[in-house]
Amino acid sequence: MAALIPFLDENLRARLCAAVDGKAKPPGSLGRVEDIAVRLGLIQNRLDPKVDRVLALVFAADHGLTEEGVSAYSASVTAAMVDLFLAGRATVNAFAQAAGVDVRVVDAGVAADLPEHPGLVGAKIRHGTRNACRTAALTADEVERALARGEALAVRAATEGYDAIVLGEMGIGNTATSALVMHRLLPAALDDCIGQGTGHDEAGMARKRDALERASGRSAAIEPLEVLREFGGLEIAMMAGAAIGAAATRRVILADGFISTTAALVAARLRPAVLDYCLFAHRSAEKGHDLLLRGLGAEPILDLGMRLGEGTGAVLAVPVLRAAARLLTDVAALADVVGGA
């Protein structure tokens, strides 16, 4: 992770705020859209930001913790969902089509050999993580390679002309892994981080809590690289790397729900400046996400009661970002209206 992340030019903030306030509207009448417009300008370091081309990177990986019954579904569902993404039939595909967002699927660590496909990026580190209840989920080298591959994918997207990167994911068991990572890095009480994930009954939630308590008790790791090594997962590490790469190239980072926000937390603990480039698409209904957002000082754009993942909430927020950018570029100045009256 050699990328340098440029600091935001706070001297530009006053000019952006003045530009927003000077539009043909009452000052502050567009609420948070005005704040988003300013933030976009700061991220891109320009008075005329644009969010024309957006790429959703959907990182897929499996988790050894599924051996402990932390999910209501088996690990084989991850590979099946990748097939669905590539066929263009998943929810993120439908939402992306509606929002004008490109989708690229990344095999970060699916526990299956996936056939080559034009829409699939083969970045597999290993076939799923090890079971964090019994041993470290990853090696230090695996963590570093996952971060580096994520960073490279974001840099590649920047060179291809994308203005913003959506962080999406798919991985059975990844709410369990995210709970462990959040628990250590935010930090927060473990029970406050554990949610239903794909949908557990009472017995399933009891299994999940027991497994995560055992995993947490196995290691006292609190440093971000060590937390990733002990608990995983590969899509989380790769998304964290992608956030770092996007920030280094002044691209807007649009985080989705609980898992991708956990990845943003990892990135921020590794490179604090990354948070300046992050916008958080929505408040997930998954337990722990609201606490995680508050811990990062983040206010989500949408609140629709969603908790699917895949990048779906982030894709839905893209039109808001585009509208905010166009406030600066397309709306007339109030002085022009008043002067011509």
Residues annotated as catalytic (active site), given as ranges: 310
CA distance 196 to 205: 7
CB 155 within 8 A of CB 249: yes
DSSP 333: B
- 237 Cβ partners below 8 Å, 6+ apart? 108, 138, 143, 146, 147, 150, 228, 263, 266
Neighbours of 158 (CB within 10 A): 18
DSSP symbols for 244-295: HHHHHTT-EEEE-SHHHHHHHHHHHHH-GGGGGGEEE-B--SSTTHHHHHHH
CA distance 313 to 302: 8
Give the CA dihedral 35, 38, 43, 47, nearest 10 degrees. 160
CA distance 330 to 341: 20
Per-residue b/e over 18-55, b at no fewer than 16 CB within 10 Å?
ebbeebebeeeebeeebebbbbbbbbbebeebbbeebb
* Beta-bridge partners for 28: none
The position carrying tokens 């990328």 is: 3
3-class DSSP state of 104: strand
CB 229 within 8 A of CB 209: no
3-class DSSP state of 18: helix
The H or E element containing residue 54 is strand 54-61
